[in-house]
Amino acid sequence: MEMEKKLYDAAFHGNVAIFKELIQGDPLLLDRITLTDTPLHVAILRGHLQFVRALLSHNSRLATQSDSLGHLPLHVASAKGYLEIVRELLRVGPASACLARSKDGKLPIHLAVMKAVRVEVVSELARASHESTRLRVDGGDTVLHLCVKYENLEGLRVLMEVVRSENDSGSLINLRNDDGNTVLHLAALYKNLEITKYLLATPEIEPNAVNNNGLTPLNLVENSPRDLKTLELHNFLLQSNFLKSTHNPSSSQSPAKSQSNIPTQPNSKKSWKTFFTFTEHNINQLEDMKGKILITSALIAMINALPIIYLRVNGPDIPDQYSINSASFVPAVTIMVLLVAGLPLENRFCAWLIVQLMYTALGFMGLNYIGEMISNENRYSRFDIALVFMMIWFVLLMILSALNIIRLIVLFVTTIKRRSKRRNLRNIRENALSSA
């Protein structure tokens, strides 16, 4: 125990001479270390390069031992930003150390990016193991996501240079985390203008990507609380040629093509599918008509409420009238409440709900009108032309309502398939890593 105490004291102070004396007196001293935090961890924490070299020259196995937090010496050196020590560990230890996870699931390169250490350390780790740039932490974030979250622009630039040399920058920079967010989504979410500018200048970026909620980076900025940073970023995105087509994420054309105003002919073979999907165009239309929808709902609610109030005060009590008017009144009032409460129409389900409630309110109001026409035998008959037109209108409205329900089913099926595909890809990747 006395010898071990002296060894740790020498590691703390970086005293190579005392270490050599201890090893000469007991060549097996390093093999009998019982503590999880080895002298190598201590020497690295203190940044003693020469002591690290002396330890590794006598026992390279220390490079593979983890401390109480599951950190290998490479984790510690990466987090502290000691470039020469990182190089020494990579030279002596196995390449798999770059892929080793601590108890909280972090790789050495993750810690280097999170601590914003010297970019040379990040570059060294990425070049030593390209696979480490793809492995994820909890939440599905890659090392590029972490660069954005921890505002490490220099680390992001270095990593992009490394992955470009491997011809993998396009797929890596557009990877999504578990929420479906790309690095550009996170840059918008964290309101980082400098990183956003850098990403938009990257040819491989997909500016029109949508996350699991169907939101583009521009949508995230528009939904953020208004402050100076938000306004500055929002103005930049609106002025950016890359994001001019953000409101049409279904477009897969390149940024260069999106800058031109050349009209394109829709694909007739696929145009029918738009009737069964809720597109970004539909959402943008609802967003633009939000005020009109609110006014229309208020009018429908008033039209259904006034006859009930009149009957209660001046006329007979008619239960059927209460029922059918309520079936139109309640959806209309619900639309008003949801819009006033700030329902995010950018969310596809929320947009679908508003449309379906409007169909319901209009449908029951029309049904009430048709019932009154049929019951008024003095002026109309079942074959009156006005009644026929009303019946045709009502059938068309029911068809639109059924179509909207199909849209909801397609939305759920598509979401489930997308998540299942992402889960399968993640399992394949993890199986490949485990078998490697």
In terms of average pLDDT, the best of 182-191, 315-324, 383-392 is: 182-191
Residue 275 has what pLDDT? 56
pLDDT, residue 61, reads 87
Give a yes or no: residue 257 inside a domain. Answer: no
Whether residue 315 is found in the same domain as residue 419: yes
Same domain, 212 and 285: no
Q: Is residue 276 part of a domain?
A: no
Does residue 114 share a domain with residue 152? Answer: no
What count of other Cβ atoms lies within 10 Å of the Cβ of residue 185?
23
413 in the same domain as 291: yes
For residue 147, give the H/E element and its range: helix 143-149
Q: Are residues 296 and 424 in the same domain?
A: yes
| The last residue of a domain, from among 246, 268, 302 | 246
Burial 15-31 (b: 16+ CB within 10 A, else e): bbebbeebbeeeeebbe
End-to-end CA distance of the chain: 40
Pick the residue with more confidence: 3 or 119? 119
Nearest to 336 by CA among 321, 356, 358: 358
One domain for residues 315 and 421: yes
289/424 same-domain check:
yes
Residue 158 has pLDDT above 60, yes or no: yes
Q: Are residues 303 and 416 in the same domain?
A: yes
Q: Are 12 and 42 in contact (CB under 8 A)?
A: yes
pLDDT in tens, 275-334: 566 666 667 677 778 888 889 888 988 887 777 666 554 555 555 566 777 888 888 889
pLDDT of residue 268: 42
Instruction: Mark whether 169 and 23 lie in a shared domain.
Output: no
> Lowest mean pLDDT: which of 44-53, 173-182, 309-318, 336-345?
309-318
64-71 own/partner pairs: CB under 8 Å, 24+ apart = 64/93, 64/94, 64/97, 65/36, 65/38, 65/40, 66/36, 66/100, 66/102, 67/36, 67/37, 67/38, 67/41, 68/36, 68/37, 69/102, 69/103, 69/104, 70/101, 70/102, 70/103, 70/104, 71/41, 71/102
Please, is 132 exposed, middle or buried when counting C-beta atoms within 10 Å of its C-beta (0-12, 13-18, 19+)? buried
- For 236-280, the pLDDT digits (tens) are 887 775 443 344 444 333 333 333 333 334 444 444 455 566 666
Structural domain contains residue 124: no
CA-CA distance, 117 to 128, in Å (whole number)? Answer: 17
Q: Is there a domain that residue 343 lies in?
A: yes
Instruction: Please report, as a single letter, which amino acid is at residue 178.
Output: D
Structural domain contains residue 398: yes
- Tell me what percent of the residues of the chain surpass a pLDDT of 90: 28
What pLDDT, on a 0 to 100 scale, did the predictor assign at position 405? 87
User: Do both 237 and 287 map to the same domain?
Assistant: no
Answer with the one of 88, 118, 148 that is the final residue of a domain: 118
Does the residue 66 lie in any domain?
Answer: yes
Number of domains in the chain: 3
Q: Look at residue 78 in the predicted model and tell me its pLDDT.
A: 95
Both structure tokens of 225: 């609380």
Question: Quick one: 423 and 288 in the same domain?
Answer: yes
270 domain-assigned: no
pLDDT score of 366: 83
- Provide the pLDDT for residue 79: 94
CATH number where 219 lies: 1.25.40.20
Same domain, 102 and 220: no
Residue 79 in contact with residue 111, Cβ under 8 Å?
yes
The residue from 91, 118, 145 where one domain ends is 118
**Average pLDDT, stretch 129-156?**
92
The pLDDT of residue 154? 93
pLDDT in tens, 195-209: 999 998 888 888 888
What's the pLDDT at 252?
Answer: 38
Mean confidence (pLDDT) of the chain: 80
Q: What pLDDT was estimated at residue 21?
A: 82
Other C-beta atoms closer than 10 Å to the C-beta of 297 total: 23
Structural domain for 300, as ranges? 281-435
Which of 130-139, 153-162, 304-313 is least confident? 304-313
Residue 6, pLDDT above cutoff 80: yes
Residue 259 lies in a domain: no
